[in-house]
Amino acid sequence: MRQFIVDVDGARLAGEGSESPAVVLVHGMAGDRSDWDVLVRALPDDLPLLRYDLRGFGESTGPDGVEFSHSDDLIAVLDAQGIDRTVLVGVSMGGAIVVNTALNHPDRVSGLVLISPALTAWRWSRDWRARWKDVATLVQAGDIDGARDLWWTHPMFDAVRETPVAGDLRMALNRFAGRQWLGDDQRRELPDAERLHALSTPTTLLSGARDADDMCLIADVIAAAAPDVERIDFPDAGHMLHWERPADVAAAITGSSHAVDSPDPS
């Protein structure tokens, strides 16, 4: 799989992928493109993929003090790789990014697969904000190991901590430098929850009933407000479905990538 660097507004976005990917994978908070390894092993070998590190994560860099949008970065990656239209798969924060991209650039997105998605400019609950503040306080004090330990106890990870991949995921979390827990230079936007009625892209929504309350509510809102959503809910799973249920997630992605490329039977 070839590697690439995309330069955009002073940032360098690192990624890897096939020449003409049918699917683009967008990772979540505190992760990088290697978080998809478990899922990629479950996908068909002949499914062309592309994945990259978001600005400020993994091997991707970005200048401080320069306002940006992860969605604009994603479009820049598509443009640089000559991708006119593709299926976008996003998990957690990556889910918010791909929804935002589909709303802003519907002509570039042939399908969405949302895995435990967040939403841009979502109003998080008091409990969520308190947990985030506690983690950020540790980062500010220079206790990054303590911050990672506390983040690992978040309800989002309750289900995955019980699985055989828990150790691998915790090792992945240990690679996260933690800067984004203190904030970044993302451009402020209006809530995408108020625009979901305009999400015309065929969407597969994967959710786990054991996810954090905020994430379960976001899934409910998307399912209720967006016009073309197939929801698959896993009663015994949590937030990290691509780690907890890689075969099921792979099947949803494969089905979505085939469905959007199929000719209209009419």
pLDDT attached to residue 258 = 67
Asked whether residue 235 is assigned to any structural domain, the reply reads yes
pLDDT attached to residue 19 = 84
Instruction: Specify the number of domains making up the chain.
Output: 1
* Tens-digit pLDDT profile for residues 73-82: 999 999 999 9
Burial label for 109, CB within 10 Å (0-12, 13-18, 19+), is: buried
Asked whether residue 141 is assigned to any structural domain, the reply reads no
Integer angstrom CA distances of residue 201 from 85, 108, 110: 12, 10, 6
Express as a percent the part of the chain with pLDDT over 90.
93
- Enter the pTM of the model: 0.96
Strand order in the sheet with 109-115: 2-8, 11-17, 49-52, 23-26, 86-91, 109-115, 203-208, 229-234
Asked whether residue 169 is assigned to any structural domain, the reply reads no
* Tens-digit pLDDT profile for residues 96-118: 999 999 999 999 999 999 999 99
Is 259's pLDDT higher than 80? no
Asked whether residue 138 is assigned to any structural domain, the reply reads no
Q: Give the residue numbers spanning the domain of 12.
A: 2-125+185-261
* Tens-digit pLDDT profile for residues 153-198: 999 999 999 999 999 999 999 999 999 999 999 999 999 999 999 9
Asked whether residue 164 is assigned to any structural domain, the reply reads no
CATH code of residue 26? 3.40.50.1820
Asked whether residue 134 is assigned to any structural domain, the reply reads no
Cα torsion through 58, 59, 63, 66, rounded to 10:
-60
Is 266's pLDDT higher than 50? no
Asked whether residue 50 is assigned to any structural domain, the reply reads yes
Closest-CA residue to 242 (of 2, 37, 7): 37
Distance CA(14)–CA(21), nearest Å, equals: 16
